[in-house]
Amino acid sequence: GAGVSQSPRYKVAKRGQDVALRCDPISGHVSLFWYQQALGQGPEFLTYFQNEAQLDKSGLPSDRFFAERPEGSVSTLKIQRTQQEDSAVYLCASKDRAPSQTGELFFGEGSRLTVL
Amino acid sequence: GQQLNQSPQSMFIQEGEDVSMNCTSSSIFNTWLWYKQDPGEGPVLLIALYKAGELTSNGRLTAQFGITRKDSFLNISASIPSDVGIYFCAGRHGSSNTGKLIFGQGTTLQVKP
């Protein structure tokens, strides 16, 4: 596609439910990043992939958060047993080169998660 | 998580005025970036800076990479209503080979026609 596509755009979950957020990066982009943006804050790094390899997951807040990119294209961020503090916008971004190479990120519109 | 110190937090200006915002860090970055985010959208890259002292323009926008590598500023000249939005600085550490960015808290800009 022309840009990074994320779905769903909005998700309301009851506390304790599991959610899955999908990211379709720009076609051919090697690197994919997930960021979490709380209300009124800047995005915070969660994890990134180079192709199908998850090279850094140090930003994931807890073991309830899990991300995968099995074929090196589409990625899914899964949150198990959601808590109210998980409410945020989850941004996906991709880049056409390896994470360490120059080149900047293109962000999707984000998935807004509200946990009641 | 670590975030950059961005100021001011918000600005309310008259159309046509110039705007200046800045970002500081306690650690060194080898890349500084400035993004704009509109409501319900993802951040869009405005300017990227890769070298200490670098001054780069993009239309009415000008940004500089501080000599100390610990700060950057963004100027917007002759503001117009469509400049409204949230501006974020972001930095990438020199020692990092991950490419991940650290963002500031954002500057909310409102422009009065």
pLDDT of residue A98: 65
Res B111 pLDDT > 60: yes
pLDDT of residue A58: 92
Contact residues of B toward A, CB < 8 A: 1, 3-4, 6, 33, 35, 40-45, 48, 50, 88, 90, 96-106
Res A11 pLDDT > 70: yes
Asked whether B34 and B89 are in contact (CB, 8 A), the reply is yes
pLDDT of residue B73: 97
Contact B106 A41 (CB under 8 A): yes
pLDDT band at B2 (very low <50, low <70, confident <90, very high): low
pLDDT of residue A2: 76
Which residues of B are less than 8 Å from A42 in CB distance?
A: 3-4, 6, 88, 90, 103-106
Residue of B nearest to A40 (CA): B105
Q: What Å distances lie between residue B12 and A41, B4, B39, B78, CA to CA? A: 19, 22, 17, 14
Measured distance CA(B63)–CA(B52) in Å, rounded:
12
pLDDT of residue A1: 52
Measured distance CA(A5)–CA(A108) in Å, rounded:
6
Cα distance from N-terminal residue to C-terminal residue, chain B: 37
pLDDT of residue A100: 60
Q: Across residues A32-57, what is the average pLDDT? A: 94
Question: What is the sign of the dihedral through the CA atoms of A25, A89, A42 and B95?
Answer: negative
pLDDT digit string, tens, across residues B35-67: 999 998 999 999 999 899 999 999 999 999 999
Asked whether A52 and A29 are in contact (CB, 8 A), the reply is no
Strands A111-115 and A10-13: parallel
pLDDT of residue B98: 64
Measured distance CA(B76)–CA(B44) in Å, rounded:
16
**What strands, in cross-sheet order, belong to the sheet with A5-7?**
A5-7, A19-24, A75-79, A65-68
Measured distance CA(B76)–CA(A52) in Å, rounded:
40
pLDDT of residue B93: 80
pLDDT of residue B3: 67
In angstroms, the separation between the Cα of residue B80 and the nearest Cα of chain A is 23
